Structure 1
Amino acid sequence: MGTTRRMLAAAAALLLLAGAATPAGAQPPDRVLYEVRGTDSAQRDTIARSGADVLGVRDGTVTVVASPAQARELRAGGLPLSEIGDVDALLAERGAGKRTAGDFPAGDEGYHTYAELSEELSAAAREHPGITRLSSVGTSAQGRALHLLKISDNAGTDEAEPEVLFTCNQHAREHLTTEMCLHIVQRFTEGYGSDPAVTNFVDTREILVIPSVNPDGAEYDIAGGEYRGWRKNRQGAGTDLNRNWDYRWGCCGGSSGNPASDTYRGPSPFSAPETRAVAGFVDSRVVDGTQQITAHIDFHTYSELVLWPFGYTHDDTAEGMTAEEAQRFAEVGRKMAASNGYTPQQSSDLYVTDGTVNDWMWGKHKILSFTFEMYPRGAGGLDGFYPPDEQIAPQTARNDEAVDILLAEAGA
């Protein structure tokens, strides 16, 4: 099934790359996929400031989705955009003949819908009652529970142990990240008592997992039986959740004020119920003046990167980040990247972003917070968000050692 899927995707890409013209009288596409080669960080900042949707970056090559107006603006600024094709046509070809309404396209059944994810979490809680506690941090814009699973040797008790938070699926189309959080759940429940490393961490840490911060967007992305390439939540025109956090929100050209943009930051910080709920939970973990959560990873796709704060400035140090703190981020980030083969760098080395979860986690709470951009490596176009389900197992297990490194650092 994976081979057939890749052949269809390749055929669609070749047809579009061949330059099929828009038929006379037809509406030009609203979203077009482009590639920009040989960019530096300043040029990537320019792309991000335009409100275009940066999909992936590798060795200076950027794949980006832009509206006609955004493309004109970028070209006027001297950026050489090479057109790949109409996003909606690419996505339609990507799911051609594989529709399963309300589910992942046929051939991708290994991914979990929201209902399937909910059942998996409930099953983990039923089967491992002594070390799990299932709850939620709140609800999404459309009323879905934002599940939280706590894993610890005395999960029903708030012990004086370092807490480590894993969040996934802030961006709707990044379904592999939900599988990453689910893999963490399965590993630390099923391996307890038999795997010495797992058992030690469960006995000495409180592991907190939110597998889908954006369940509404994730469900919308697959609702028609084919992928939509949807990024934002489903509140109004949608908000980019990872530009909606209340730290340097909208400060530095790293998000858009246009509701039509894929990087729309929302009308105000924490205007999205999802970010507000997760932040409220993190705030609640301040006990007797001390934040109990000491480390955090937010999983994204794609480009195979380990990123750390700050995203809003290119400076290595800034208000709230000393040279010693920046050095620790770099040391831990490089150690994790050495374990999984990702590239380690400060977030802004990719391009400037503002209102992000990592900046907020560190800027407000001094939580050692990282973003992992998962498989695939490089500028993979739209297909990079929808890897074959055969990749779920190897790409999630690939991060086991990195997760363990962070759990160990949480107690340092």
Structure 2
Amino acid sequence: MTALPSPRFDEFLRYEALTALLMAYVQACPNLVSVRSIGKSHEGRDIWAVILTNTATGADIDKPAFWLDGNIHASELTACTTCLYYLHHLVSHYGTDAQATHLLDTRAIYLVPRLNPDGAELALADTPRHIRSSTRRYPYDEAPVDGLTVEDIDGDGRILSMRVRDPHGTYKKHATEPRLMVAREPGEFGGEYYRLMPEGTLLNHDGLSIRVNKDPEGLDLNRNFPAGWRQEFEQPGAGPYPASEPEVRAMVEFLVSHPNIGAAVSFHTYSGVILRPCGTRPDEDMPPEDLWTFQRFSALGEKHTGYPVVSIWHEFKYHPKEVVTGTQDWVYEHLGALFWVVELWSPNKEAGVESYKWIDWFREHPVEDDLKLLKWSDEACEGQAYVDWRPFLHPQLGEVEIGGWDKMNFWRNPPAHLREREAARFPAWMTQIALSLPRLELLRTEVRALGPDTWRVRLAVANSGWLPAYVTKQALARKQVRGVMFEIHLQPDPAISLVSGKLRMEGPHLEGHAPRQSQLAFLPEREITGDRAVGEWVVRAPKGTRIHVSASAERAGTVRAEVSLD
């Protein structure tokens, strides 16, 4: 048997190395791991999905499933690492850990570590560029004619900042820490001031005006999903129409063709927070049962990971007047599956900045926070997170200094020595979600003779999962799920016929074993066995005939049985 791979989680893999690693898992654990391409990226790379399940206990499509993805945004590479960490965790613990073993025996995991391989490859290039998402030029396929293009101009493999002395500049050196640039006070004058701008080159510079060009690759793949999609003037980067981009279309088509997916997590960076729906409406407009479910699993997320969980609508907006839609809205709003976005990694918390409000902090925060972050760079990152300013002769601006925050390697992603620690926060939470998914189980089959060649056949099933078979009320409202479907499979034989019942018939929606109220509730629970259902048929057939029956629920899986008429 091939040995299990031993990946390093402190380094980011280029596409070929990532592909080789995934195939090595398939070779080492062919009974647990398979890899398939769910589509091609803009540049023609395969988008790999890892399917994790014990094939000896059934096919993945017949089991309830959990989806996770990462790296939809080009430079958010720790998202890919976190997916790979969970892959390794499950396969390395299978057979020795009860939860990992039961999970892969009874459920399926669909794992896409790098949804956007083109953008990640550009971020990892020898001369990197840090774009938002896809490498496709959008909305226009043309080069800029002037302005500042962000790029690594001194060849050190990093894209930092440039500072230029200017009496009208916005920033000045901190009084006691001259490396740190701080904002001028209102009404302040008479000091030494600077303009700050990204590292890059200028085209057709007139000696006065500087405008930072947008990346010609202006897509944001997370704005290309169907739910809440809006045109470019209202939601930049959304693409020409919903799911126009191959990476998004691949994910959409996979999830739609795999209705067994009942819950999902998408990894991003950064902020050190877990985001829950909704993004387009407040909590009071959600189905209360769904809100309670999200709150229950979110509390588990806080317990397992140490990350707070917040509502996107109420606590994580880029601007208080803007609504931003993405994967989370489509997966919950359209499909009715549970969904969370994880923004991995918080340099703020790492530096001891505890009290801050996500997006608002980037608009304004006390200079004491910057000093804590600078101290963290010096002591924990060997001075590499905040790079000392050094002179550089700029081809258009002349004498400038380059330095400041290395956002790619210390803000968008943790430093190498902390990447595995961040990834290790999540397996326990994701496993608990996946093990809570609905699961259809066979209770029993019954055959009773009603005459010499007439038989009553019954198939009894139950949902053994914590969640109901429909998972959310939103799924019911959007008609994404049906009740349990019973089916009898009769041989094409004139001696065999169906007397009563239907070849295929819909039963009830099965509840899970989650309590809907406490034991001290004012009124007793009425539906004690809402997790069970029975399909019944009357068949005319010779004694000894073998009949196949089955039951299925989109998100709870499929069970099959064979009965003998005797």
Q: TM-score range by the shorter chain?
A: 0.5 to 0.7
- Kindly provide the amino acid, as one letter, of the partner of residue 304 in structure 1: G
**2:340 aligned with 1:373:** no
Matched, 1:387 2:360: no
Q: Give yes or no for the alignment of 1:144 onto 2:45.
A: yes
Matched, 1:250 2:230: yes
- Equivalent of 2:283 in 298, 312, 316: 316
Where does residue 23 of structure 2 map in the other structure? 122
- Alignment of 1:209 onto 2:114: no
- 2-structure distance, mates of 1:159, 1:340: 29
Q: Which has the higher strand share?
A: 2
Q: Is the 8 A contact 1:138 1:145 kept in 2?
A: yes
User: Displacement of 1:371 after TM fit?
Assistant: 0.5
Give the letter for the 2:32 counterpart: I
- Pair 1:172 & 2:74 matched: yes
Note the 1:281-296 alignment, pairs <5 A: 281-285=254-258, 291-296=259-264
Q: Determine whether 1:307 maps to 2:307.
A: no
Deviation at 1:410, TM superposition (A): 2.1
Letter of the aligned partner of 2:273 in structure 1? Answer: L
| Equivalent residue letter for 2:279 | G
> CA 1:386–1:345 in structure 2 vs 1: closer, same or farther (change >3 Å)?
closer
What is the alpha-carbon distance in structure 2 between the residues aligned to residue 271 and residue 235 of structure 1?
Answer: 12
2:65 matched to which residue of 1? 163
Provide, for residues 232-272 of structure 1, a one-character-per-residue CA deviation record: whole Å limited to 9, x for no partner. 21111241011110001128xxxx538xx9x5111211111
> How many correspondences in the alignment?
290
* Partner SS, residue 385 of structure 1: coil
Please report how far the alpha carbon of residue 347 of structure 1 lies from its aligned counterpart in structure 2 after TM superposition.
Answer: 1.3
CA distance in 1, matches of 2:60, 2:305: 32
TM-score (ref. length: structure 1):
0.66
Q: In the alignment, does 2:11 pair up with 1:110?
A: yes
Is contact 1:133-1:149 (8 Å) kept? yes
1:336 aligns to 2:298 (yes or no) = no
Unpaired stretches in structure 2, ≥5 consecutive residues = 1-8, 138-216, 349-361, 363-372, 374-404, 439-466, 468-566
Give per-residue Cα distances to partners, 1:161-186, cap 9 Å, x unaligned.
21000110011110001001111111
Corresponding residue for 1:35?
Answer: none
Partner residue in 2 for 1:50 = none
Query: What is the deviation of 1:202?
Result: 0.7
Deviations along 1:292-323, one digit per CA (max 9) or x if unpaired, are 1001000011111111111123x1144xx312
Contact 2:10 2:419 in 1 (8 A): no
Structure 1 match to 2:312: 347
Change (3 A) 1:299 1:353: farther
Report the Cα distance in structure 2 between the residues aligned to 1:365 and 1:302, rounded to whole angstroms. Answer: 26
Matches of 1:309 and 1:266, distance apart in 2: 23
The change in CA–CA distance for 1:159 and 1:140 in structure 2 (over 3 A counts) is: closer
Equivalent pair of 2:68/2:266 in contact (CA under 8 Å): yes
* Contact 1:171/1:231 (8 A) holds in 2: yes
Amino acid at match of 1:143: G
Structure 2 equivalent of residue 229 of structure 1: 130
- 1:360 aligned residue: 330
Is 1:257–1:267's contact at 8 Å kept on the other side of the alignment? no
Indicate if the aligned counterparts of 2:122 and 2:130 stay in contact, CA closer than 8 A: no
Task: State yes or no: 1:241 paired with 2:142.
Answer: no
Where does residue 154 of structure 2 map in the other structure? none
Bigger RCO (CA 8 Å, 6+ sep): 1
Percent identity over the alignment?
27
Distance 1:230 1:334 in 2: 34
Equivalent residue in structure 2 for 1:398, among 425, 430, 439: 425
Match of 1:196 in 2: 98
Q: Name the aligned partner's letter for residue 151 of structure 1.
A: L
SS in 1 for 2:34: strand
Q: Which amino acid aligns with 2:299?
A: R
State the alpha-carbon separation in 2 of the partners of residues 353 and 222 from structure 1.
Answer: 31
Q: CA deviation at 1:158?
A: 3.8
1:109 deviation in Å? 6.9
Q: Which runs of 4+ in 1 moved over 4 A?
A: none
Post-superposition shift, 1:221?
1.3
Following TM superposition, by how much is the alpha carbon of 1:373 offset from its aligned partner in structure 2, in angstroms? 0.8
**In 2, Cα distance between the equivalents of 1:353 and 1:279?**
22
Q: Deviations over 1:78-119 (max 9, x none)?
A: xxxxxxxxxxxxxxxxxxxxxxxxxxxxxx972111111111
SS of 2:275 mapped into structure 1:
strand
Q: Distance in 2 between matches of 1:397 and 1:368?
A: 22
State the shift of 1:384 in Å.
Answer: 1.0
Distance 2:14 2:40 in 1: 17
Partners of 1:316 and 1:129 in 2: how far apart? 44
Q: Which moved further from structure 2: 152-161 or 165-174?
A: 152-161
Query: SS where residue 338 of structure 1 aligns?
Result: helix
Task: Pick closer, same or farther for the CA change 1:243–1:353 going to 2, 3 Å.
Answer: farther
Equivalent residues of 1:152, 1:205 under 8 A apart: yes
Instruction: Give the distance between the partners of 1:185 and 1:209, measured in 2 at CA.
Output: 8
Asked whether the 8 Å contact 1:300–1:373 carries over to 2, the reply is yes
- Is 1:273 the counterpart of 2:273 in the alignment? no
Residue 138 of structure 1, CA deviation: 0.4
Determine which structure has the larger helix proportion and give its number. Answer: 1
Q: Mark the runs of 5 or more structure 1 residues left unpaired by the alignment.
A: 1-107, 286-290
RMSD of aligned residue pairs (Cα, Å): 2.2
1:298 is paired with a residue of what secondary structure?
strand
Structure of larger gyration radius:
2
Q: How far apart, in 2, do the equivalents of 1:216 and 1:207 lie?
A: 24
